[in-house]
Amino acid sequence: MSRWPSRRLQIGAIVVLAIGAAIQVSMPPMTRQARAERLYLDGWFECSVPKLEEALDLDPGNSMYEQALVWRYDRDKLPRLLKTRRLGKEAQALAAGLIYQHEIESIEDPKRKLVLVDALIKADPTNALPHYRKAALLEEMGRPSLAELRRGNACGKMRFYSPTVTDRVLNSSQSPIMQPMFSDYAKSRGLTRAIVDQAHVSLREGKVEESATMMEDCLRMSVILSSAEPPTTIGVLVGIAMQKIATFTLEPVCKDFGMENRLVRVKRLDRAYERALKACKDENAYSSLDHLTLIIAIPFTIVWLGGSAAGLLLLSFLSWILPAIRRRGQPAINLGLWNQGWIARASLLISVPLMVAAALLGDYALGYADVRDGMGPYAFLIVLGSVIVLVLGLRMLHHRHDESTGEKTVIFRFIFKSPANVKAWTRKSLMLLFGGQLAFAACFGLLAIILCKPLLGGQPWQINRFHMAAISHEETTMRRVGDDLRKAYFYR
């Protein structure tokens, strides 16, 4: 029989994979910055405040590490953190936003909310967001809100209270962007409707200039919100909706009353928003590519397949092989076992295609709200692979037995009616076959350890660190969209 792959080659492959996996898991960072980055990532994904503090001790003044510490800190203890640690402006603004947002969400009294929003404006004076929140709150209370909206517009920029993070964090399931700002989006859109309604009243009263200015204020707010940090597709879409609400009346007013300069700017902004809508559609198509979830499914497949194979082997050992070892009787015959290269070849030819099929099924299952709904076919493939290897193994043993005896026996007679020494030899051979499968599954587990972190950002057991989305690509695209909108509106 062919000896490929040889025993030495198989042992060498296992040794290389084991060394590579050990290096990948235990290799310490070599520089101070690398140690700080590892502590930052560990602290973020493990929600470990002490590790984030260690990262800051190694790299003092790093704004990204400071913001991560603030984000992971207990909201009720943030005021004490601000007193005990000297943080940068970005971290202080983030802490203020989280503190007051936490307090505002816990109370119902609108007057008390107004006091807290004023305190937030004082703590973060250059950010348009708290001004817009105050304007929306005033509108809900039935009080004038236009002046506060204009104060927000005067800031010129808007930042949501979300930390700046690395791309590895941003694209994972632990991304801070996974906690969207729907409340602020909804309030800003509602505020636009309220101001445009006021503009309609002014227009009916003959105050055309005042009405046009109010609608322009809403356009300005839409541009600032669309270009807010961190940039998101939904933010741009809400900005488009706000722009449509304002221009629906503003454009005909500009035409009817000869406001040429305003009309030029309104149309220029409208074209910019058309480009923004196309960019949002393209980004949505890019983010929904199947290869992203397929990449995620591969390590799931490898690890789950290895664990399931080990479980099947243990079950087989306990139910069939172990009783045979304990039985006293004739020793096993010595017909020689199959070439060990056959075990490796069979494992490759059978298991790898089934792993690919399982990866596709895993990708399909990720589309379910409950992933377990798609695991029936997934588990079936794993059982099928073990059954195929078992059937092939029994067929080869049967053929080897008939060759040695010169007889032709039926396969079922060979399995169930063979002499005790033949059954002992069969069980011993199958033990080696199942052991080879287990070694094969272990090799794939080692390969997953070597490849998963460089490709996906985390080890197979660190699923929360996997590259789960294309948020960094979205941010880059939407930031360009925001710049285009600002140029269209603010630059003549």
Q: Is 55 exposed, middle or buried (0-12, 13-18, 19+ CB in 10 A)?
A: buried
The torsion region of residue 159 among left (phi > 0), alpha (psi -120 to 50) and beta comes to: beta
pLDDT given for residue 287 in this prediction: 66
- Please compute the mean of the pLDDT values over residues 25-46 and round it to a whole number: 90
Question: Using CA atoms, how far apart are residues 36 and 41, in angstroms rounded to an integer?
Answer: 9
- Please compute the mean of the pLDDT values over residues 156-182 and round it to a whole number: 85
413 vs 65 pLDDT, higher one:
65
* Contact in structure between 484 and 276 (CB atoms under 8 Å): yes
Instruction: Look over the chain and give the mean of its residue pLDDT values, rounded to a whole number.
Output: 83
437 vs 447 pLDDT, higher one:
447
- Please compute the mean of the pLDDT values over residues 192-209 and round it to a whole number: 94
62 membership: H or E segment, kind and range: none
- Please compute the mean of the pLDDT values over residues 100-124 and round it to a whole number: 89
Instruction: Indicate the pTM of the whole model.
Output: 0.77
Per residue in 239-274, pLDDT tens?
Answer: 999 999 999 999 999 998 989 989 999 999 999 999
pLDDT at 368 over 80: no
pLDDT at 440 over 90: no
DSSP bridge partners of 229: 159
Q: What are the extents of the domains in the chain?
A: 290-461
pLDDT at 29 over 60: yes
pLDDT given for residue 371 in this prediction: 45
pLDDT given for residue 307 in this prediction: 60
Percent of the chain's residues with pLDDT above 90: 44
- Please compute the mean of the pLDDT values over residues 201-213 and round it to a whole number: 94
pLDDT given for residue 424 in this prediction: 77
- Please compute the mean of the pLDDT values over residues 49-71 and round it to a whole number: 94
Choose the weakest-confidence range: 155-159, 321-325, 428-432: 321-325
Percent of the chain's residues with pLDDT above 70: 82
Per-residue pLDDT band at 358 (split at 50, 70, 90):
low
- Please compute the mean of the pLDDT values over residues 211-219 and round it to a whole number: 95
pLDDT at 367 over 60: no
Contacts of 465 (CB under 8 A, 6+ apart): 41, 45, 168, 172, 174, 456, 457, 458, 459
Per residue in 375-411, pLDDT tens?
Answer: 556 667 767 777 787 788 888 888 888 878 777 888 8
Tokens 């490709």 — which residue? 455
